[in-house]
Chain A
Amino acid sequence: MIVRKYISLAELGAGRSCRIMEPASGRGLTRRLEEMGIRAGKRAVKISGMPLRGPVVVQVGGTRIALGHGMARKIMVEV
């Protein structure tokens, strides 16, 4: 049986790939993220996370996007 693990993008280790679940953020932010390509079902790779609650850099398709730590915590992903 395959064990599925759900964690937030902030907790995901650098270099790991994942599938994005429904973001748990507010409507405005969710929409912005979706327009930039971060939406449910998309595959993503976390490039890095800065220490001290710094931003998270994630690659979705051909785009790299940097997100604040708070946002990254609201985006749940499946490993």
Chain B
Amino acid sequence: MKRIVLMGNPNVGKSVIFYRMTGIHVIASNYPGTTVGYTKGDFTFPSNIPVSPESRFQPGERCEVIDAPGVYSLEPSSRAEEVAVDILKSADLVISVVDATNLERNLCLTLQILEKNIPTVVALNIWDETKHLGIHIDPVKLEEMLGIPVVPTVGVTGEGIRKLAESLNDAGSGNHPARTREDRWLEMGRIVSSCQHLTHHHHTFLQRLSDISVHPVIGLIMAVLVLFLSFKIIRFIGESLIGYVAEPIFEGLYAPLLMKLSGVLGPGSVLHHILIGKLIDGEIDFIQSFGVLSTGLFVPLGMVLPYIISFYLVLSFLEDFGYLPRLAVLLDGLFHRVGLHGYAIIPTLLGLGCNVPAIMGTRILEGRRERFICATLISIGVPCAALQAMIFGLVGERGGRYVATVYITLFLVWLILGFILSRFVKGYSPELIIEIPHYRLPPLGPFFKKLRVRVFGFLREAVPIILIGVLVVNLLYAVGIFNFLANLTAPVITRLLGLPKESIVAILVGFLRKDVAVGMLGPLNLTSKQLVVACTVLAMSFPCIATFTILLKELGVKDMLKSTAIMLTTSVIVGTILNQVIRF
């Protein structure tokens, strides 16, 4: 099978073109470094394209397509670039994806690929943006000068993708001699001056917005507004979905159904205990009953899913619009205090959705030290959407100030721990150097597709674990293991944290899923203060199993153990302090 590799600078739309060719959806966003690994997919050469028998690709032929991480050069200076260069060695054909709004700089990589004598075609992507920017490129002239096919494309709408496929059979390497860096720049300049001319254009609204987004004063005010609005919108959509969709379905339709099942099984039977759980005043209580079919389904679908939808709706918009790198610039100063640079805001924000992609996303940070600090801080101080939904659901009932206490504590821990880590973890943090993308209004199709991928991802990963978790917990209760554990850990849990000894079960379940764990605090009849302590400890202590696995993969055994030790110590210390300090 022939191998086609998509190569290009960061944030030129490789993942979108990959999706158009293979139908495989890779999370694509408007910031450099969205693709940190590489993805493979299958592309079938269209059967209705005329070819000759000697053509490289025959109709219906299947080939492998690789979406490589974005690089500026083939002279590797970072891990991502090494990966890309390795991938290139195995390529039968390269699609060099070029940002048409930034032709000159993008040509550097294209020329380097051609100098390696690999058959190449150029996808002149983001073609639609050139018009408003007053950039006029002559693709025919460019094709002549490079000696290979050049196809204007708009990845997000799919425009030009068919032409791109047709051009694959004409791919060539254009007889480019190996050049020195200086020669290459001269060549780039020569090509650009004859293929592209710029006309004066008035700054568009988005460009003006772009300028003020990084203004030291207006930019900061904007950032505060954006974050505040995002929070409000997430809560509004999340609560509306719960109030108008989830609760009516669960209380109105599902509960009566379950009650019938309850009657059939007979309260008191083992199966009833496992599937439906305890009846509270003869009724099913979706939080307290704790059966596989009651709480086990209500937590992921009734409480968490609405917030997953609303969170990713807002985050995806900010990502695709291109706001996040600007936030990175604004927050760079603050992040340097905790040993990171501003770009760490991107994995950190992803962590508010789910810690797993967030920790994978720390790959956009260069150094090992930064990645360790960032991943540890995310696991400790950044609660995922599922956990937050439960905190809002359970703690929110008692009043806003209790929720605020949890959040303020987590933020302070993030800040103070980061400050300490940046002093003690060896190494230095490199400075920020990122390209800031143009603002783009995300086209609705791919936008909702991405939202769907993320929401289904949550359902696939979370629902089975929650159901199995509730089942296992019920079985272990029956065996009596938890009593033993509760007595064993009582000194820490009761003395230091001031919680009833049974809460150890919830904290242990937190290793499976934090959302169920918070749900388990419900039946314990905790005081508001205890609830705040328990939620904070749960958020900070052991990461859930999915996060744990990804920490192991990304940091290695040694650093993962270090990170976990830090988490456990910090959560006990902070829990103890909270228990002593807060008075409501």
Other-chain residue from A32, A37, A67 in contact with B432 (beta carbon distance below 8 A): A67
A49–B216 touching, CB < 8 Å: yes
Give the 6 A-B residue pairs with the shortest CB-CB distance, closest first: A68-B431, A35-B72, A64-B436, A62-B102, A37-B105, A54-B333
The stretch that binds A, out of B17-25, B141-149, B207-215, B454-462, is B207-215
Q: A31-B73, A33-B433 are in contact. List 9 more A-B contacts (CB 8 A).
A: A31-B75, A32-B72, A54-B329, A63-B102, A66-B325, A66-B332, A66-B342, A67-B431, A68-B431
Bound: A37/B435 CA distance, A: 10
Could you list 10 examples of A-B contacts with CB < 8 Å? A28-B77, A36-B105, A47-B214, A61-B105, A62-B133, A64-B435, A66-B332, A67-B431, A68-B332, A68-B432
* A54 CA to B77 CA, complexed, in Å: 25
B513 close to A (CB within 8 Å):
no
* B73 and A35 contact, CB distance less than 8 A: yes
Question: Which residues of B lie under 8 Å from residue A17 when comparing CB positions?
Answer: none
A52–B104 alpha-carbon span in the complex (Å): 33
Shortest Cβ distance from A34 into B: residue = B181
Q: Which residue of B lies closest to A53 (CB)?
A: B333
Min CB distance B320 to A, Å, is: 18
**How far apart sit A65 and B565, CA to CA, in the bound complex (Å)?**
38
Number of B residues near A (Cβ < 8 Å) is 35
- B contact residues around A70 at 8 Å (CB): 431
B421 an interface residue at 8 Å Cβ cutoff? no
Is B258's beta carbon under 8 Å from chain A? no
The verdict on B369 contacting chain A, using a C-beta distance below 8 Å, is no
Complexed CA–CA distance, A39 and B77 (Å): 17
Which A residues lie within 8 Å of B216 (CB)? 48-51, 54
Measured CA separation A32–B77 after assembly (Å): 8
Q: Report Cα–Cα, A37/B181, bound state, in Å.
A: 13
A63 surroundings in chain B (CB, below 8 A):
102, 105, 435
Which residue on A lies nearest to B217, using beta carbons?
Answer: A51
The interface residues of chain A lying within 8 Å CB-to-CB of B108 are 35
Distance between Cα atoms of A49 and B216 in the complex (Å): 7
Q: Is A71 an interface residue (CB 8 A)?
A: yes
Distance between B53 CB and nearest chain A CB, rounded to angstroms: 42
Chain A residues near B383: list those with CB within 8 A.
Answer: none
Interface residues of B in 116-136 (CB under 8 A from A): 133, 135
Residue contact B77 to A66, C-beta cutoff 8 Å: no
| A18 sits at the interface (CB 8 A) | no
In this complex, the interface size class of chain A, counting residues with CB under 8 Å from chain B, is 20 to 34
Residue numbers in B under 8 Å from A34 (CB-CB)? 181
- Chain B residues with CB under 8 Å of A71's CB are 431, 433
Contact with A along B444-467 (1 / 0, CB 8 A): 000000000000000000000000
Cα distance, A51 to B215, chains bound together (Å): 10
Chain B residues with CB under 8 A of A67: 431-433
| Bound Cα distance A47, B101 (Å) | 18
A50 touches B333 (CB 8 A): yes
> A65 contacts B135, CB within 8 Å?
no
Any chain A CB within 8 A of the CB of B328? yes
> Hey, which chain B residues are within 8 Å of A77, CB to CB?
none
Nearest opposing residue in chain B for A61, CB measure: B104
Residue-by-residue, is B414-446 near A (CB-CB < 8 Å gives 1, otherwise 0)? Answer: 000000000000000011111110000000000
| Nearest chain B residue, comparing its CB with the CB of A69 | B431
A57 touches B433 (CB 8 A): no
Contact with A along B308-339 (1 / 0, CB 8 A): 00000000000000000100111011000000
Q: How far is it, in angstroms, between the C-alpha of A37 and the C-alpha of B99 when the chains are bound?
A: 14
**Nearest Cβ in chain A — how far from B578, in angstroms?**
32
B411 CB–A CB distance under 8 Å: no
| Shortest distance from the beta carbon of B105 to any chain A beta carbon, whole Å | 4
Q: Which residues of A contact B214 (CB under 8 A)?
A: 47-48, 50, 57, 66
Query: Which residues of B sit under 8 angstroms from A49, Cβ to Cβ?
Result: 216
Contact of A55 among B72, B104, B332 (CB under 8 A): B332
CB distance from B455 to the nearest CB of A (A): 32
Per the bound structure, the CA–CA distance linking A18 and B179 in Å amounts to 29
B278 within 8 A of A: no
Is B273 among interface residues, defined by CB-CB distance under 8 A?
Answer: no
Closest chain B residue to A39, Cβ basis: B185
Specify the chain B residue showing the minimal Cβ separation from A29: B433
B272 on the interface (CB 8 Å rule)? Answer: no
Contacts of B211 on A, CB cut-off 8 Å? 47-48
**Residues of B with C-beta under 8 A to A54:** 216, 329-330, 332-333
Q: Is the CB of B434 within 8 A of A66?
A: yes
Does any Cβ of A come within 8 Å of B381's Cβ?
no
Residue of A28, A33, A61, A66 near B329 (CB, 8 A) is A66
B433 touches A37 (CB 8 A): no
Q: Do B435 and A36 touch (CB < 8 A)? A: yes
Tell me how far the C-beta of A64 lies from the nearest C-beta in chain B, rounded to whole angstroms: 4
A contact residues around B435 at 8 Å (CB): 36, 63-66
User: In whole angstroms, what is the CA distance A52 to B220 when docked?
Assistant: 14
Chain A residues near B353 (CB-CB < 8 A): none
CB-contacts of B543-566 with A (<8 A): none
Q: Shortest CB–CB separation between residue A24 and chain B, in angstroms? A: 15
CA distance A63 to B103 in the complex (A): 10
In the complex, whether B514 has a CB less than 8 A from a CB of chain A is no
B14 in contact (CB, < 8 A): no
For the complex, what is the distance from the CA of A67 to the CA of B435, rounded to whole Å? 9
Option from A28, A33, A52, A65 in Cβ contact (under 8 Å) with B436: A65
CB distance from A17 to the nearest CB of B (A): 14
Give the chain B neighbours of A35 by CB distance below 8 A. Answer: 72-73, 105, 108
Please tell me if the beta carbons of A57 and B436 are within 8 angstroms of each other in the complex: yes
Contact call B432/A55, Cβ cutoff below 8 A: yes
User: Is B341 in contact with chain A by the CB < 8 A criterion?
Assistant: yes
Q: How far is the CA of A47 from the CA of B208 in the complex (A)?
A: 11
Residues in B with CB closer than 8 Å to A36 are 72, 105, 433, 435
* B361 adjacent to chain A (CB < 8 Å): no
Known interface pairs A50-B216, A67-B432; A61-B333 also in contact (CB < 8 Å): no
**For the complex, is B219 an interface residue (Cβ under 8 Å from A)?**
yes
Contacts of A48 in B (CB 8 A): 211, 214-216, 219
Q: Which residues of B contact A57 (CB under 8 A)?
A: 214, 329, 436
